[in-house]
Structure 1
Amino acid sequence: MALQKMSESVYVGMCHKIGTPQKVTSRRDIVDMKELFDNQNGRGRFMGSGSHREGFRFNDSDIDTMFWLTDLRVVWDFSQSEYYNIHKQTLILCDSSESPAGFTLLWLPLERAGQGVLSSCVEMNGGLYISSSKFIENACASIAPDSRIHGPCSSGTRGPKEVSLEYDEAYCFASDFWPPSASSWIDRCHSWPPPHVVNDIVRNECHFVAIGHKLGNHEDKEWRISFSQAEYKLVCSMNHTQFLTYGLLKLFLKEIINNALGDEDKLLCSYHMKTAVFWAIQQNTLPQWCPQNLLAGFWVCFKLLLKWVYEGISPNFFIPENNMFLSKIHGQAQTSLFRRLYGLYKKGIALLLHSPSIRSSIIDVLCNPRLTVCTDEHTLISEAEFDVQLFGEIHSNDALHLSDLQRCMKVLHTVEQLIGSPLSQYQVVSLQKHTATILQNTAFILHNMCTNTGVNKQVYIADKMSCHMLKLAARCGCISDMFYIAIYYYKTFRYREALSVIEMTKVRLAQPYLMYEGRVDRERYTEAVGGQSWSTKMRQTVARGIQLDNTICYISELIPEQQSALQKRMPTLYIPVFVMLHFLEFLCYRHIDTTLSQAALDHLQVLVHQDQGFYILDLHRDISWEILGICQQMAGNLQAALYSYQQSLRHYPFHEIQTATTQRIHELQF
């Protein structure tokens, strides 16, 4: 009974740390929607993989992505070629005859691939084979020159260091056919996963990543069969207790097993934890996976890991003949790891007291055995808390960079098709925000194109269409999306109309239940919109910074900043919404009323000088000081402008606008 109560307490703690069922589902659905849009672009396809894609949001989670070309397809034998148009698609043939289980050579029967593939080929056995080591070297050099090779991936850091994310990108090949070496897996799936999941997995692609077996005969040329897509579907088919067991094992690995070890000494990885959970679920080692059995499930998986280390055999879930310990965990390393794990095993479940993330949940029960633990999801998280997470997730996945009208129209056609399709409630609200962003990009791209032609009729028609799209975007987006209408009116010299939109938006931004950058008065928020749809909540309560795609001209005064950022591969400027409000007021009033223009500048100056991180996050201070300097320079206050530009340079260069700032300072001084 005590163990069950302790399990419930840990379950609740893990829900707070990792996520409730609703949170995890919403994360997956929102990323699904983003991937659907991002994959509307030509030959290439990409797919997220790893912890982030599975629904975890650990602070140190990296972003794993797989990328492949759709006109290069791998087949297992020549008979499968009948399903392809060989004039449009290049076929690659698997040759597993000389490779360990789970690995293969890739033979190119005809020299019809692109230069990137041909330059990675080597001659062997009278044929042309794609060398995995050459391929990953060439991919890193041409696609991601700032990255390093890490296993089968191109690895690096993306974004400013305060909020940077580690990424692993695997450039791979795909096959439409299930590997013959994994056919036994299908026959093994009696109890889990359910038949519809098995069928879905087998019908879809498997992939080949650029790494060979360290003990194989052709390590530099071999490719590993990857089941990342299948594994994601398996993780999604877990119930929440099973998912949290997986999360608990990841924390156990990080905070206990690998704690204080150097990278070279870390023999076990997260993939071993995932594989242990898969085997434990499929082998029915626990009659019921529920909150009361969370620790029992963890213990089953831990014992399985201990057995694997003792025997030196960790069977791959899809191809058991592939021993994942073979090249790394053997000899003295195996003996040392087993002793370490067995020492933990002898401590019993108390070993989890060494985990900072889990310790308090266990101590709560030990100190108060009569503690009542409620595992009902609705008691674990408030409506406002969930909504903050949901809208934050939608916002972080709303980076669709559409630089040409043709792609915009293609994506809008996808939106049209999705509107009538069955979507989850999270995907519906995510689709709305994506639609708003796409319409905004399309409106400005269309206007810029037609203005450049100089044909009045085209400009008039484009203007009507752009206005309509921006108003439609404001109706399906959040409060901040109103500003794109104001920006457009300013761009087309309709200053009074722009100011009218700004005034309406200002009223909505002053509401006491505003949700801004993840902050909200929860009581007032619940009173105002509690129980309403997320679409309504987004339109009426949510505000975010203004994202300007650096390939599109929105405000001519910011062109130098956009160009500077583009030189450093920064795709967007992210301007705090209240900075944008006063910036636009200043720009518009300059053409109408100089007194009100100065008042807007005064408001902006007070905001930038005195804000303590409530309206302007620290990472956005570089662009905020820059905009203040631009306004001061336009107003003729050159000394104040110089000070603002210098302040912009002193803050962290989140937006990579230093080149523009330095140029503006140079202009002031000379």
Structure 2
Amino acid sequence: MDFLSENVYIDAGFQHLCESVFLRLCQIVGTSVQVAIRREMVDIKEMVDRRVADNDDTIEMESGSRREGFRLEGSDYDYMYWWNNHRVIFDMSQSEHYYTEDKTLILSDSSESPPGFTLLELLTPRTKREVQSACVPMNDRLYISSSQYRQQTQSHLFPGSIGHGPCESGEVRGIEYDFAHCFACDFWPLSASWIDRCHSWPDREVVNEIVRNGCHFVPIGHPLGLHEREEWRMSFSLAEHKLVHSMNRCQFLTYGLLKIFLKEVIDKQSEETNKLLCSYHMKTVIFWVIQQNAVPLWCPQNLLAGFWVCFKLLLKWVHEGICPNFFIPENNLFLSKVNGSAQRTLFLELHGLYEKGLVCLLQSPSIKSYITNVLYNPRLSICTNEDRIISECDHDKELFHEIYRNISYCPKNLDHCIKYLHTIELMIGEPLTQYQVLMLQISTADILQSTAFTLHNMYTNTGLNKQMYIADRMSCHMLKLAAKFWCISDMMYIAMFYCKTFRYREALCITEMINVKLAQSGLMYRGHVDPERYTEAVGGQSWSTKMRQAVAHEIKLNTHTCYIKELTLEQQSAKQNNRGVTFIPLFVVLHFVEFLCYRHIDTALAQTALEELQVLVHHDQGLYVPVHHRDISWEILGICQQMTGNLQAALYSYQQSLKQYPFNKIQNATQMRIQD
């Protein structure tokens, strides 16, 4: 009887331990609501972009852990880019699906390549300069060299970028990024035998969607292949994030625990082995474990059992030196890295952790205290209700940040603006989640702002008074309508428009209203907020009310249109350097517009606005002027100082602008101003 009681006690204790770790992972990884917000915001943004894209546009897709819904410390930004008018096919019969007058076709030839790799033969002579420059003749055919293509497509968007595998990699504000320029394929490769194994996971609907979406080819060859410098690797990034999205909550958190365990425990074992395994191996492990039904029940009370099954499979793979790619098992992901003495050392380290059992998780600083709490308090009652983990303020902060991060549309002209608006109009009738509906509303506001300024710029100086009057009324109406959808910052576009059209007093009325709203104690600016005051001010209100009353962000200017004529040089510089958006701190724009307006009304107040701007730029500690937006902030201060005739101060400000991180790519404009 005692023996039975002990077993029941151990079971209950293990369940409490699992629940405690589950709770901690919800805090680190995010609640199911937070993860859903992150995923759905990116999904709806890319859906809009794809439908609006012209045939010769570049398509952007976020990939990696952030696309999967993670926001772990140190998570990098992964993006894939491809030309919309280039497509890879697996056999010539598939060319029938394309109108070859406007599509460049590329044939995959994997006859001499290891599993998961291929050569790409250019079939259509009309192509991009970067592709043409990367072509090499082989066997009387023209193939695209992956190594040369990487060199041709290096964007050097940010300083210090380097080649890393198939990507251009670098760091901005301590956050790493990977940009991969690739080719898209609308077909599923026959060599990816994964479909035949999908009996219980994922369900047939997910499988069909993955197959419909095809795959990509990234520019990296197999290190042991015959044509390493010419070969391309098949990428299943799109399929992978569909699979991650189809995981249940416990499976996703187990995946998160594996990533944390890799970073905080495995990678800390020794210098020799800390780069051998990566998060892609962790993803591969959990994919195989889920599909093979190795864990009978994925639930919070069984979370650590699922983790342990994954860890044992990883240990087995390291011992054998074989990590089978989930889609093409013949492709051994360990082949060129986990071998020899490094493999033996890694196995001994992992086996040492395995012998300790789940106690090895105590080596994880993120998890440790939540395990010891249960060990010291075995009868501790743990609530796994995620609704209690996150406050209303934190939920709103997540939602508004993800919306802001994904609102970056850059229509190039009026026709493009109309195309965006028409696309969004059609999407509103589709089945969408509440977060996606909100995202579309705010996307509409963003496009309306670009449309308003684009329309006005078209009719400026045409001499057609009636058309100018109609365009002006329409622009004003669009800007006022946009301000009802999003946050306090959107009122600033109305002020900029009034300033641009010489209605200085009307502009100052708007800036005064903005100042009143920004002075509120419950303001949420760039995620900075006092939770108690925010909840007291707008708690329980609708999202629309919260945004209009208590939320503010930086100002985004589409570089294809003019908002403030004094910034024309800066926007042209950004555009020339492939920046679609110029980011300016809201408080900087506010003082800038006040200065521009008061110059025509009251020179003393203009000087006051300039002094306030100067104090802000010189002394802000990153709250109102983020470090990565200091380039444009110093620039605007210099412009104002130059306009007042204080050339010495202006020169200093421009020099300071050049010393900042060149996030907005305005250095050309700054140097021109210094020369002037």
Of the three residues 7, 29, 42, the one matched with 2:18 is: 7
How far 1:286 moved relative to its partner? 1.3
Say whether residues 1:180 and 2:194 are aligned partners.
no
How far 1:637 moved relative to its partner? 6.4
**Aligned residue in 1 for 2:430:** 421
Counterparts of residues 181-220 of structure 1 (less than 5 Å): 181-182=191-192, 184-220=193-229
How far 1:242 moved relative to its partner? 1.0
Say whether residues 1:367 and 2:376 are aligned partners.
yes
Q: Give the direction of change, closer, same or farther, for the CA distance of 1:573–1:408 in structure 2 (3 Å limit).
A: same
Counterparts of residues 18-167 of structure 1 (less than 5 Å): 18-39=29-50, 40-42=52-54, 43=56, 44-109=58-123, 111-140=125-154, 147-157=161-171, 159=172, 163-167=173-177
**What SS is found at the alignment partner of 2:180?**
strand
Q: Give the direction of change, closer, same or farther, for the CA distance of 1:646–1:106 in structure 2 (3 Å limit).
A: closer
**Aligned residue in 2 for 1:271:** 280
Q: Give, in whole Å, the separation in 2 of the partners of 1:576 and 1:31.
A: 24
Equivalent pair of 1:132/1:221 in contact (CA under 8 Å): yes
The aligned amino acid for 2:90 is W
Q: Once structures 1 and 2 are overlaid, which stretch shifts more, 404-413 or 272-281?
A: 404-413
Q: Provide the aligned length of Structure 1 versus Structure 2.
A: 662
The aligned amino acid for 1:226 is S
**What SS is found at the alignment partner of 1:345?**
helix
The aligned amino acid for 2:485 is C
Equivalent pair of 1:439/1:470 in contact (CA under 8 Å): yes
Q: Give, in whole Å, the separation in 1 of the partners of 2:591 and 2:138.
A: 67
**Aligned residue in 1 for 2:399:** 390
How far 1:608 moved relative to its partner? 5.2
Of the three residues 237, 251, 259, the one matched with 1:250 is: 259
Q: Give the direction of change, closer, same or farther, for the CA distance of 1:61–1:611 in structure 2 (3 Å limit).
A: closer
Equivalent pair of 2:268/2:274 in contact (CA under 8 Å): no
Equivalent pair of 2:273/2:345 in contact (CA under 8 Å): no
Equivalent pair of 2:89/2:187 in contact (CA under 8 Å): yes
| TM-score (ref. length: structure 1) | 0.90
Equivalent pair of 2:269/2:349 in contact (CA under 8 Å): no
**Aligned residue in 1 for 2:7:** none
Equivalent pair of 2:453/2:561 in contact (CA under 8 Å): yes
The aligned amino acid for 2:339 is H
Structure 1 unaligned regions, length at least 5: none
**What SS is found at the alignment partner of 1:453?**
coil
Say whether residues 1:356 and 2:370 are aligned partners.
no
**Aligned residue in 1 for 2:247:** 238
How far 1:305 moved relative to its partner? 0.4
How far 1:620 moved relative to its partner? 4.4
Equivalent pair of 1:41/1:407 in contact (CA under 8 Å): no
Once superposed, what is the RMSD of the aligned Cα atoms? Answer: 3.0
Say whether residues 1:170 and 2:170 are aligned partners.
no
Q: Give, in whole Å, the separation in 2 of the partners of 1:233 and 1:651.
A: 39
How far 1:481 moved relative to its partner? 0.4
Equivalent pair of 2:266/2:274 in contact (CA under 8 Å): no
The aligned amino acid for 1:526 is T
The aligned amino acid for 1:503 is E
Q: Give the direction of change, closer, same or farther, for the CA distance of 1:514–1:648 in structure 2 (3 Å limit).
A: same
Q: Give, in whole Å, the separation in 2 of the partners of 1:89 and 1:122.
A: 21
**Aligned residue in 2 for 1:304:** 313
How far 1:454 moved relative to its partner? 3.8
**What SS is found at the alignment partner of 1:133?**
helix
Q: Give, in whole Å, the separation in 2 of the partners of 1:221 and 1:661.
A: 41
Counterparts of residues 554-573 of structure 1 (less than 5 Å): 554-562=563-571, 572-573=581-582
- Superposed CA deviations along residues 223-253 of structure 1, whole A, max 9, x for unmatched, are 2222111111000001121111111111111
**What SS is found at the alignment partner of 1:357?**
coil
The aligned amino acid for 1:518 is G
Structure 2 unaligned regions, length at least 5: 1-11
How far 1:431 moved relative to its partner? 2.0
Q: Give the direction of change, closer, same or farther, for the CA distance of 1:114–1:654 in structure 2 (3 Å limit).
A: closer
Q: Give the direction of change, closer, same or farther, for the CA distance of 1:435–1:262 in structure 2 (3 Å limit).
A: farther
Q: Once structures 1 and 2 are overlaid, which stretch shifts more, 130-139 or 222-231?
A: 130-139
How far 1:212 moved relative to its partner? 2.4
The aligned amino acid for 2:258 is L
Q: Give the direction of change, closer, same or farther, for the CA distance of 1:471–1:83 in structure 2 (3 Å limit).
A: same
Equivalent pair of 1:408/1:442 in contact (CA under 8 Å): yes
How far 1:265 moved relative to its partner? 5.7
How far 1:666 moved relative to its partner? 7.2
**What SS is found at the alignment partner of 2:82?**
strand
How far 1:440 moved relative to its partner? 1.3
Equivalent pair of 2:272/2:342 in contact (CA under 8 Å): no
Q: Give, in whole Å, the separation in 2 of the partners of 1:328 and 1:420.
A: 50
How far 1:104 moved relative to its partner? 2.4
Q: Give the direction of change, closer, same or farther, for the CA distance of 1:544–1:115 in structure 2 (3 Å limit).
A: closer
**What SS is found at the alignment partner of 1:258?**
helix
**Aligned residue in 2 for 1:525:** 534
**What SS is found at the alignment partner of 1:506?**
helix
Q: Give the direction of change, closer, same or farther, for the CA distance of 1:220–1:619 in structure 2 (3 Å limit).
A: closer
Q: Give, in whole Å, the separation in 2 of the partners of 1:282 and 1:217.
A: 33
Q: Give, in whole Å, the separation in 1 of the partners of 2:122 and 2:630.
A: 53
**Aligned residue in 2 for 1:456:** 465
**Aligned residue in 1 for 2:525:** 516
Q: Give, in whole Å, the separation in 1 of the partners of 2:661 and 2:330.
A: 51
Equivalent pair of 2:59/2:84 in contact (CA under 8 Å): yes
How far 1:623 moved relative to its partner? 4.4
Equivalent pair of 1:306/1:342 in contact (CA under 8 Å): yes
Q: Give, in whole Å, the separation in 2 of the partners of 1:132 and 1:647.
A: 40
Q: Give, in whole Å, the separation in 1 of the partners of 2:236 and 2:299.
A: 27
Q: Give, in whole Å, the separation in 2 of the partners of 1:285 and 1:164.
A: 39
Q: Give, in whole Å, the separation in 2 of the partners of 1:537 and 1:487.
A: 23
Q: Give the direction of change, closer, same or farther, for the CA distance of 1:310–1:536 in structure 2 (3 Å limit).
A: same
The aligned amino acid for 2:180 is A
Q: Once structures 1 and 2 are overlaid, which stretch shifts more, 514-523 or 568-577?
A: 568-577
Q: Give, in whole Å, the separation in 1 of the partners of 2:611 and 2:113.
A: 71
Equivalent pair of 1:4/1:292 in contact (CA under 8 Å): yes
Q: Give, in whole Å, the separation in 1 of the partners of 2:258 and 2:73.
A: 16
- Superposed CA deviations along residues 126-177 of structure 1, whole A, max 9, x for unmatched, are 43333333333333389999743322223334x4xxx154322222222222
The aligned amino acid for 2:20 is S
Equivalent pair of 1:144/1:154 in contact (CA under 8 Å): no
Q: Give, in whole Å, the separation in 1 of the partners of 2:186 and 2:554.
A: 42
**What SS is found at the alignment partner of 2:422?**
helix
Equivalent pair of 1:529/1:537 in contact (CA under 8 Å): yes
How far 1:298 moved relative to its partner? 1.0
Of the three residues 326, 339, 343, the one matched with 2:335 is: 326
Of the three residues 503, 511, 516, the one matched with 1:502 is: 511
Q: Give the direction of change, closer, same or farther, for the CA distance of 1:314–1:415 in structure 2 (3 Å limit).
A: same
The aligned amino acid for 1:174 is A
The aligned amino acid for 2:439 is S
**What SS is found at the alignment partner of 2:206?**
helix
Using the aligned pairs only, state the percent identity. 63
**What SS is found at the alignment partner of 1:504?**
helix
The aligned amino acid for 2:163 is I
Equivalent pair of 2:104/2:123 in contact (CA under 8 Å): no
Equivalent pair of 1:623/1:655 in contact (CA under 8 Å): yes
Q: Once structures 1 and 2 are overlaid, which stretch shifts more, 486-495 or 630-639?
A: 630-639
How far 1:448 moved relative to its partner? 1.9
The aligned amino acid for 1:243 is F
How far 1:112 moved relative to its partner? 4.7
